[in-house]
């Protein structure tokens, strides 16, 4: 960021073009209540404080990606969609929040203020709502997506601001313009767009011309078949996600890349399979994919569709911590994959044995 700013300054463009970078809410170690919001320890002083200092010195905004969709439950759906609800009372400030977005923004503001940067502008770099999801996903659907984005536009342009940042408007970017039909992961991840890949509107958010709006309403009145990816049934403990036999290495590498981005801020993320991590060995794509796919499945709540990975994942009821996956004897080699679990049996990795062994799968 400093190098980019220096290049812009060299071209006398630094007053016209600002440099910043977006952050997920995974940067927060606490967000409830909003007045107690704070950044993760270590990141706050060594990364975020210098970054916020750079933004202040260049008059640039701090960019965040709040998603009430991922934070809501059946009980808080109205709260997430800006619909009438009982709200949430912050016990520290005695302020009652009536929508989840304000609470998320104020949690970030509180974290910034604790580092001495409460004066910086906040930009909503991404937010949105999926028009399609699995049957067990709360709130996914065209009507809710349209309602969220309509209410979002009205709210951020109202000038009301938030309880801790009153009388403000927020520069806001809706994610996204198009559905991403080739994106891996759960169905909802492919359906945040206002338009489909064929350029037809996914739903009317209130910005279409009247003739287009009429066509969209007619199309939405006709039910479409459910997307085939995943089973949609929510599973409890005692289930693990593994790579299917025969899954090609390129697909597994794509799974790793996707998961390691999705797990930022959630537990250990992909740290254990990075070099020096406890699960780095065996250093193979298949072994790393085994860890990453299961970590994602556990972190997202053990839904069947979270182990689909475009049909390269499979759910097993056999506890990997008790499983001796492979035992091979040859001239002077005996080895096995042995798994270790954390307290809830969710996260596991493999270690390997003795002699002149080539790691299998």
Is-catalytic flag, 126?
yes
> Contact, 37 vs 110, CB < 8 A?
yes
CA distances from 83 to 32, 33, 87, 147, 175 (A): 20, 20, 10, 9, 21
Q: What is the dihedral of CA 99, 101, 107, 108, to 10 degrees?
A: -160
Q: Say how far apart CA 221 and CA 269 lie, in whole Å.
A: 41
Catalytically annotated residue among 113, 189, 227, 244: 189
Catalytically annotated residue among 113, 126, 227, 244: 126
Catalytically annotated residue among 75, 143, 183, 326: 183
Is-catalytic flag, 75?
no
| Structural tokens at position 81 | 């969609």
Nearest to 90 by CA among 36, 29, 38, 39: 36
Is-catalytic flag, 171?
no
Count of beta carbons in the 10 Å neighbourhood of residue 342: 12
Nearest to 100 by CA among 123, 118, 121, 83: 83
Catalytically annotated residue among 49, 113, 121, 180: 180
Say whether 84 sits in a helix, a strand or coil: coil
Matching residue, tokens 């991404």: 126
Residues marked active site are found at 126, 180, 183, 189
């Amino acid at each position: 960021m400093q190098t980019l700013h220096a290049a812009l300054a060299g071209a006398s463009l630094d007053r016209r073009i600002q440099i910043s970078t977006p952050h997920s809410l995974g940067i927060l170690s606490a967000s409830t209540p909003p007045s107690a919001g704070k950044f993760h320890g270590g990141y706050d002083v060594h990364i975020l404080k210098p970054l916020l200092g750079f933004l202040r010195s260049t008059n640039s905004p701090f960019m965040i990606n709040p998603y009430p969709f991922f934070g809501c439950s059946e009980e808080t759906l109205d709260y997430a969609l800006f619909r009438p609800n009982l709200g949430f009372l912050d016990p520290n400030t005695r302020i009652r929040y009536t929508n989840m977005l304000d609470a998320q923004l104020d949690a970030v503001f509180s974290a910034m203020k604790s580092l001495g940067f409460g004066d910086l502008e906040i930009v909503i770099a991404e937010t949105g709502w999926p028009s399609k999801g699995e049957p067990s996903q709360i709130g996914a659907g065209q009507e809710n997506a349209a309602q969220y984005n309509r209410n979002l536009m009205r709210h951020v342009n109202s000038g009301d601001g938030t309880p801790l940042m009153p009388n403000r408007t927020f520069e806001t970017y809706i994610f996204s313009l198009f559905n991403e039909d080739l994106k891996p992961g759960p169905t909802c991840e492919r359906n945040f767009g206002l338009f489909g890949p064929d350029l037809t509107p996914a739903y009317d958010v209130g910005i279409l011309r009247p003739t287009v709006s009429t066509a969209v309403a007619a199309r939405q009145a006709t039910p479409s078949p459910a997307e085939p990816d995943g089973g949609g049934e929510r599973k409890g403990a005692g289930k693990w996600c593994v790579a299917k036999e025969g899954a090609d290495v390129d697909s597994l590498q794509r799974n790793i890349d996707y998961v390691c981005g999705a797990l930022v801020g959630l537990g250990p993320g992909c740290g254990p399979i990075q070099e020096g991590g406890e699960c780095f060995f065996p250093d193979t794509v298949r072994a790393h994919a085994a860890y990453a796919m299961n970590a994602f499945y556990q972190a997202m709540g053990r839904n069947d569709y979270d182990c689909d990975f475009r049909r390269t994942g499979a759910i097993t009821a056999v506890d990997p911590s008790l499983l001796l996956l492979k035992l091979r004897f040859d001239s002077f080699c005996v080895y096995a994959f042995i798994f270790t679990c954390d307290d809830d049996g969710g996260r596991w990795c493999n270690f390997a044995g003795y002699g002149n062994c080539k790691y299998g799968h």
